[in-house]
Amino acid sequence: MRGQAFEVAKREFVTRARTRGFRAVTAILVLMVVAAPIVMSLLPDNSDELPKITIGVAADAPEGFADQLDAIAQSQVELTIIDLASDSSDEIETRLSNGDVDAVFEAPSTLVWDDFENPVIYGLISAALQQSSILDQADAIGLSPAELDRLFEPVQVSNRSIADDDKSSDVRSAVAFIGLFTAFLLPQIYGQLTMLSVVEEKSTRVVEVLLSHIRPRTLLIGKILGLCALAVIQLLLLIFGLVLALRFTNLVEVPSSLWRFVPLLGLSVLGGLAIYTTLFALLGSLISRQEDASQVMMPVFAPLMVGYIAGQTAVFGNADTLLLKILTWLPFTSPMILPVRVAREAIGPVEVALSLAVLAAAVFLLIRLAGRLYKFTLLRTGSRVGWREAIRLSRGAVS
């Protein structure tokens, strides 16, 4: 049986892999994941640019105020100071409403805004006034500039985070989303391929020749193995391309702890592929024409959609809700939820192991059940076979 399953798997793999469609889609996808980081790295990086602020200084500002403001703003904002000493009140208001200046300072300590206060400007002005006041008072008590510098010598503050150095929320969310999307998309694509393959075998009657040599369950397992292997190869090509591109461009530093996530993503995707390709194969065996495929697919899309939507809430929000915990245990949704919760560090290793065990057990049981149903439904041609009818009649069928 193993040899026969391998033969079926090999045929499925080779036949699909050598189609122009598959090769073209794979090449385009790899090109996209490689090109995207490269293109992004070539775009101008504006992230280091300082915010631009223009402050007008009206008459009667303290002496040296503009210089102090400029010194404080250095490295925080790109500050432009406009002298408005000669402007009238109306002219100043016009400049504010036109947006020529973001705020106007009026001595001794008033800031004039057009509409909303800007806390950055407020902080800059406050600091500059404070410094002017300190300098005046230091001068009054006879402190020399050197004494004053010592008095205000800045204390170097060092940073220490209780989290790992490499913990980056953004990268984790991105990886979680990639995992979710992969676990959502691959079972759909390859599930439908499996279904079309089954329908092709039924409609051409080649299944009769096959089943004169092998058991229906062997045919089913071989088909699932072949198409899942193809999906994994395609996925590995994409991951390889993406990793190469990221390393080449240094665009994103992937946290080293996240690499541990890759095998788990692989297991989840494999489990999802196995469970959904089995379901899609069963659906294919219920119909005899490709045109009828859309009629029978809807029930399988429901758990996929539930898993995807719930997974998205976990990517960007709380990944430890009761709903997500429940969906982690359900084999039809866990392939999508598990990678997200792992990437977001919202699940422990024991729960991961148990969830994967439930998934593996479900795949095993589903393949056994499908093997029984498959024999009856595969050889039934003509009108679509209902689930109830398939189950009822398969009770007497030999698997």
Partner 1 sequence: MTSALEISGLRKAYGDIQALDGVDLKIGRGQLVGFLGPNGAGKTTTMRSIIGLTSVDEGSVRWQGAPITLDDRHHIGYMPQERGLYARMKVHEHIAYIGRLAGLDRSTADTRATWWAERVGLTNRSDDLIQELSTGNQQRVQLAVALVHEPDLLILDEPFAGLDPVAVSMLSSVMTDQVERGASVVFSSHQLDLVQDLAKDVTIIANGRTQATGTVAELRQRSPHRVLEIHWSGDIPDWAPQGADPLAAVSGASRWRVAADADAASIVAAAAANGSIASVSFEPPGLEDVFLELVA
Q: Which is nearer to partner 1, 199 or 279 (CB)?
A: 199
- 203 to 262, contacts with partner 1 by CB under 8 A? 204-215
Number of neighbours of residue 173 by Cβ within 10 angstroms? 18
15 binding partner 1? (CB under 8 A)? yes
Residues 324-383 that bind partner 1 (CB under 8 A): 379
Q: Report the nearest approach of partner 1 to the CB of residue 329 (Å).
A: 38
SS3 55: strand
Q: Specify whether the CB–CB gap between 332 and 303 falls below 8 A.
A: yes
Could you tell me if 315 and 177 are in contact, meaning their C-beta atoms sit under 8 angstroms apart? yes
Taking the least distance from each CB to partner 1, the nearer of 95 and 375 is 375
Nearest to 53 by CA among 102, 108, 2: 102
Show the DSSP H helices in 141-260 as ranges. 145-151, 169-203, 206-211, 216-249
Residue 200: CB minimum distance to partner 1, A: 8
The answer, yes or no, to whether the previous bond of 263 is cis (omega within 30 of 0) is no
- Judged by CB under 8 A, the number of residues near partner 1 is 25
110 DSSP 8-state letter: E
Selected from 21, 349, 382, 396, the binder of partner 1 by CB under 8 A is 396
CA–CA dist 314, 233 (Å, integer): 28
What is the nearest approach in angstroms of partner 1 to the Cβ of residue 13? 13
* Shortest Å distance, C-beta 29 to partner 1: 23
Round to the nearest angstrom and report the end-to-end CA distance of the chain.
Answer: 13
295 binds partner 1 (CB under 8 A): no
In this complex, which beta carbon is closest to partner 1, that of residue 95 or of residue 202? 202
Question: Cβ closer to partner 1: 288 or 312?
Answer: 288
Torsion of CA 120, 122, 125, 131, to 10 degrees: -90
Q: In terms of CB distance, is 44 or 396 closer to partner 1?
A: 396
Question: Least distance in Å: CB of 397 to partner 1?
Answer: 6
Task: Give 341 or 380: the residue with its C-beta nearer to partner 1.
Answer: 380
How far apart CA 6 and CA 350 sit, in angstroms, is 33
Nearer to partner 1, 214 or 243 (CB): 214
Q: Least distance from C-beta 291 to partner 1, angstroms? A: 17
Residue 110: φ, ψ to 5°: -120, 135
Given a contact cutoff of 8 angstroms between Cβ atoms, the answer to whether 59 and 123 are in contact is no
Binds partner 1 by CB under 8 A, chosen from 29, 118, 397, 399: 397
Residue identified by tokens 């800007």 is 118
Given the rule CB under 8 A, which residues bind partner 1?
3-4, 7-8, 11, 15, 19, 200-201, 204-215, 379, 396-398
